[in-house]
Structure 1
Amino acid sequence: MTTQLPCVVMLDSMRTYSLDDVYETRKRRDSWWTVYFVDPVACRVALPVANRTRLTPNALTVLSLVLGAVSAAFLAMNQLMAGAFLFYLSFMIDCVDGKIARLKGTGTPFGLWLDYVGDRIRVVLCAGGLAYGQYALTGDVSFIVLGAAVAVLDLFRYVNAPQMKRVRDAVREEQGLEPEGSAAEARAEHPADPLGPDPLEPEPLDGMPHHGRLPRPRWFFKLFRRLNRFLARHRVRSHLVSGIEFHAAVFVVAPLAGAWALIPLAAGAGILLLANEVFLVYRMWLFTRRHAVGSVQESREHVLV
């Protein structure tokens, strides 16, 4: 066994990948911004990276973080178009690292941490750079508030998501159901995604055992399920304003539109993001009511301690 391992590694390193191979590494469902505006570029960048370089996913993550820091510097100098382009480039490279990890099977647990923390650092740096650049130019304190609000919303979204997943997994375990995403993660999900499979994908509202009397789904949820099926056929997640769209609105679309658009677009995207989070929490609450936790002790501790 040990004598064959180097040969296997050598054969893998000599393999030439096709664009179809890269396409297979895309997430089963992703944000619409990534599906339509990033993946078409990221897949074509990933192909020569995989075939002609020895860049590791971690090296690409570090490159993405460096580009994010340079984007923040340009935003701080009021070079909005350059900052927007570099932020897009940083995010695109961040998508490439996951594709390379799946393509070559070189993802690592440390890479999960690095990818997650790198994303948060990039957002905080760019939010600070944007706020500083506009405040230095105009003296308007509103831009300082904007930068702080963007950073707080981003951190809230990424703190809330894994906690919601923990709640749902705990309820599933109590009910003897399959842990959320276990099968899907083994099939197709992003190994470099610190949250694993998307913890915020909507739960089916029917077909599960009910405990107690709950109102049946209204027309809104029936329409939502139809929309969800339509989006699934196009690999798009049902929550249309997630953290990725929020970042794109604040750091790409608004700077390209001009300084006048920074506060209105950031505020609008922030409101939509909060509304989406509230809706997801509501769905989680419905899920926990349908599958009431049998253990009084676990209920008292809210399965989060």
Structure 2
Amino acid sequence: MTSFTLADVRERTYKKRDAWWTVFLVDPLAARLVVWTANRTDITPNQITFGAGVLGLGSAVCFALGDWPWLLAGAVLFHLSFVLDCMDGKIARLKNNGSVFGAWVDFVFDRIRFFGCMLALLIGQWVATGDAVYLLLAPVVTFLDLLRYLNGSQVAKTRQGMREKLRAAARGDAVDAGVDDPESTETAEQDAPRAAGEAAPVVFMEEVLRDNPGVAAEQVRTGAHPAGARVIDVHQGFSAKFGWYERVRDRLLRSRVRPHLFSGIEFEMFVCVVAPLTAVVSLFTPWPSLVVPVLVLSCAALLLFEVVIVYKLWLATRDFSRELDRLRG
């Protein structure tokens, strides 16, 4: 019989930075459930993923019924489904029993759950109220969710490409100024350090801060990095324009909260948890239902953060070109 503790779960399964919704509203419950599940059962991550899918289906059914008690039930079920969705990865990391196929199943179930619940909510409210705005919101929410997935993966690949180019230039390799096609997977393999254990000639601010949430950016600049390594910050242009950003980011990272405050997780939770919960407001106040305003504000917040990410990436490409010229020199 295993005897995992809450400390084990926190140390071995918590991400160093995560969405604030997960940090404050999911992990405290999920971690305790993981301790009980890992110590007392043989439930596998895939079985937990299936359970999350079942709860998601129940949430969609509740949303489709439309009335406020069902909306509240649907919101609770969706949140519990997300708790289980976080548990499967924690169980896999804790017991080292995850699989590549399991990761694929987890991703596909996530998307099916959100789209199913979102459509059930909007169509259910259209049937219940006759207001066509719910039908108009369906393609908008779908588009923004797909956009943030596409943008997130492409931005990550572009950033990785810039880092690998700079590493190669620091080694003295001939490097062109253009970042390779993000769809290519060869760049990282070609530009990676040539020998296992070889000290990296440069360290990147974003990687140091990601791996050491308790370290502030200023500490990295003044020596909190491997001896002899050169610190490269391809986001210094953004930090220079928004001087308060580093202070806010460092404070958030100390609590494991990433500065991307309205990401896909918050978007899903506001659409399928917060918006349905506001249905109860109209029962006790003269105000109309707040479902539509919450959905609109959620879409606006997600779009705003995606625009900021693109702007930050554009500034980073300019810093990349300057750093590359310095390394060549």
Q: Is the 8 A contact 2:238 2:312 kept in 1?
A: no
Aligned with residue 27 of structure 1, among 15, 19, 29: 15
Aligned with residue 75 of structure 1, among 47, 63, 72: 63
Correspondence 1:220-231 to 2 at 5 A? 220=242, 222-231=243-252
Spell out, residue by residue over 1:211-252, the C-alpha distance to the aligned partner (whole angstroms, 9 max, x if none).
xxx9684352x2100100000111101011111111111111
Spell out, residue by residue over 1:230-289, the C-alpha distance to the aligned partner (whole angstroms, 9 max, x if none).
001111010111111111111111211107111101111111111101111111122222
**How far apart in 2 are the matches of 1:150 and 1:37?**
23
Note if 1:37 corresponds to 2:25.
yes
**How far apart in 2 are the matches of 1:170 and 1:176?**
10
Give the 3 Å change call, closer, same or farther, for CA 171–219 of structure 1 in structure 2.
Answer: closer
**How far apart in 2 are the matches of 1:238 and 1:120?**
24
**How far apart in 1 are the matches of 2:97 and 2:233?**
40
Equivalent residue for 1:53?
A: 41
Using the size of structure 2 for normalisation, the TM-score is 0.72
Using the size of structure 1 for normalisation, the TM-score is 0.78
Q: Which amino acid letter does the alignment assign opposite residue 99 of structure 2?
A: T
Give the 3 Å change call, closer, same or farther, for CA 174–80 of structure 1 in structure 2.
Answer: same
Spell out, residue by residue over 1:171-196, the C-alpha distance to the aligned partner (whole angstroms, 9 max, x if none).
222222697xx9xxxxxxxxxxxxxx
Aligned with residue 218 of structure 1, among 240, 263, 272: 240
Q: Is the 8 A contact 1:69 1:122 kept in 2?
A: yes
Correspondence 1:184-195 to 2 at 5 A? none
Spell out, residue by residue over 1:31-71, the C-alpha distance to the aligned partner (whole angstroms, 9 max, x if none).
11111111111111111111111111111112112211210
Spell out, residue by residue over 1:55-104, the C-alpha distance to the aligned partner (whole angstroms, 9 max, x if none).
11111112112211210111001110010000001000001111101101
SS in 2 for 1:291: helix
Give the 3 Å change call, closer, same or farther, for CA 59–18 of structure 1 in structure 2.
Answer: same
Q: Is the 8 A contact 2:21 2:266 kept in 1?
A: yes
Please tell me the root mean square deviation across aligned C-alpha atoms, in Å: 2.7
Equivalent residue for 2:307?
A: 278
Equivalent residue for 2:256?
A: 235
Q: Is the 8 A contact 2:275 2:290 kept in 1?
A: yes
**How far apart in 2 are the matches of 1:144 and 1:216?**
38
Q: Which amino acid letter does the alignment assign opposite residue 156 of structure 2?
A: K
SS in 2 for 1:75: helix
**How far apart in 2 are the matches of 1:149 and 1:98?**
30
Aligned with residue 122 of structure 1, among 107, 113, 123: 113
Note if 1:257 corresponds to 2:278.
yes
Q: Which amino acid letter does the alignment assign opposite residue 231 of structure 1?
A: L
Q: Which amino acid letter does the alignment assign opposite residue 208 of structure 1?
A: I
**How far apart in 2 are the matches of 1:250 and 1:87?**
10
Give, in angstroms, the shift of residue 157 of structure 1.
Answer: 1.1
**How far apart in 2 are the matches of 1:234 and 1:219?**
25
Q: Which amino acid letter does the alignment assign opposite residue 156 of structure 1?
A: L
Q: Is the 8 A contact 2:239 2:245 kept in 1?
A: no
